[in-house]
Amino acid sequence: MVSTATRLGGFAFDNCLMNAAGVWCMTTEELEAVKDSAAGTFVTKTATLAYREGNPEPRYRNLPLGSINSMGLPNQGLDYYMDYLLELQGSEPERTFILSLVGLSPDETHEILKKVEASDFKGLIELNLSCPNVPGKPQIAYDFEATETILREVFSYFTKPLGIKLPPYFDIVHFDQATAIFNQFPIVFVNCVNSIGNGLYIEDEQVVIKPKGGFGGLGGEYIKPTALANVHAFYQRLKPEIQIVGTGGVLTGRDAFEHILCGASMVQIGTALQKEGPAIFERITAELQALMAEKGYETIEDFRGKLQTIRD
């Protein structure tokens, strides 16, 4: 029997596929749909302390090879997601879910994390260091000094299982420098990757989304090779206690297989979920199981991280 079950941060999940933050996770209705699909768990839309309307529309577009977005962190605010997650702890105590969050400033991030620390929430937390779409706010994770400072401050008081969502890096030195920071902390996972920030898509001599003059984060097929490179680079470098979540360009079971081969313990689906809806989890799970059966693998641990290089 082929199983796609996995473990992350000490918790067990019956499937290694789930949504990526930002897709099908804004409201409890959307979160319920992912929860009740074949997905192993869900992550919420990245929550700020208060409700945010986000950027003006159109702010998301499906493209032939993926998507472009500049949503601007629209979300219901921390309490909305916390209330729902606490309710689920009562009704589905055997399952674990993920809360994504970030503040609009370091102070706000600490205020949010202190509320989560003081709460009864028992799941995983994903701190988003890679939101590219709030005008005037650079991505934290492209500023290594700011990243190290915030992580040092966070781990001075935060004791719950915390992972971080990263943007793609494009230079080997940056993989090394980022790893030197992350390995200092009790981070339970790094999630590679958020969208490739600030792409531009043109149609009829015009941009296709309104915010930021058309600049937006790219997802989907465009980004799979970059995502796989980031998953594998961090898998090779991080201390073994830090697991990898693979996100970017997953449309098929083979794409999910490749993320796991690069070292991912969990695989998230963003653009393809937006295009296809939560029934996608059943399709990709079946495709992944069929590929594993064909290759004689029974669990994802049979091939996770076992990417082969070319020898002389």
Q: How far apart are CA 170 and CA 168, in angstroms?
A: 7
Q: What is the DSSP letter of 301?
A: G
Residue 86 assigned as binding residue: no
Candidates 226, 260, 234; CA nearest to 246 is 260
Under rule CB under 6 A, residue 195 binds ligand DHB: yes
Residues 6+ apart with CB under 8 A from 14: 5, 40
Strands (E), the chain: 6-8, 11-13, 17-19, 60-63, 66-69, 98-101, 124-128, 162-166, 189-192, 196-200, 202-203, 206-207, 215-219, 243-247, 266-269
Give the tokens for residue 80.
């909305």
Under rule CB under 6 A, residue 23 binds ligand DHB: no
Among 217, 246, 248, 249, binds ligand DHB (CB under 6 A): 217
Residue 249 assigned as binding residue: yes
Shortest Å, Cβ 134 to ligand DHB? 7
Q: Which is nearer to ligand DHB, 161 or 216 (CB)?
A: 216
Q: Which is nearer to ligand DHB, 248 or 263 (CB)?
A: 248
Binding to ligand DHB in span 113-132, by CB under 6 A: 128, 130-132
Residue 71 assigned as binding residue: yes
Residue 220 assigned as binding residue: yes
**Among the options 16, 25, 131, 192, which is catalytic?**
131
Under rule CB under 6 A, residue 41 binds ligand DHB: no
Shortest Å, Cβ 200 to ligand DHB? 16
Here's the x/- map for ligand DHB, 46-85, by CB under 6 A: it reads as: x-------x---------------xxxxx-----------
Q: How far apart are CA 269 and CA 253, in angstroms?
A: 11
Active site includes 131? yes
Shortest Å, Cβ 294 to ligand DHB? 34
Residue 70 assigned as binding residue: yes
Binding to ligand DHB in span 222-281, by CB under 6 A: none
Q: Which is nearer to ligand DHB, 6 or 70 (CB)?
A: 70
Shortest Å, Cβ 45 to ligand DHB? 8
CA separation (Å) from 300 to 15, 42, 97, 252, 306?
A: 10, 19, 20, 16, 11
Q: What is the DSSP letter of 56?
A: P
Residues 6+ apart with CB under 8 A from 115: 78, 82
Residue 199 assigned as binding residue: no
Q: Which is nearer to ligand DHB, 19 or 46 (CB)?
A: 46
Candidates 217, 78, 211; CA nearest to 139 is 217
Sequence ranges of the binding site for substrate:
45, 69-73, 128, 194-195
Binding site for ligand DHB (CB under 6 A): 22, 46, 54, 70-74, 128, 130-133, 194-195, 217
Residues identified as active-site: 131
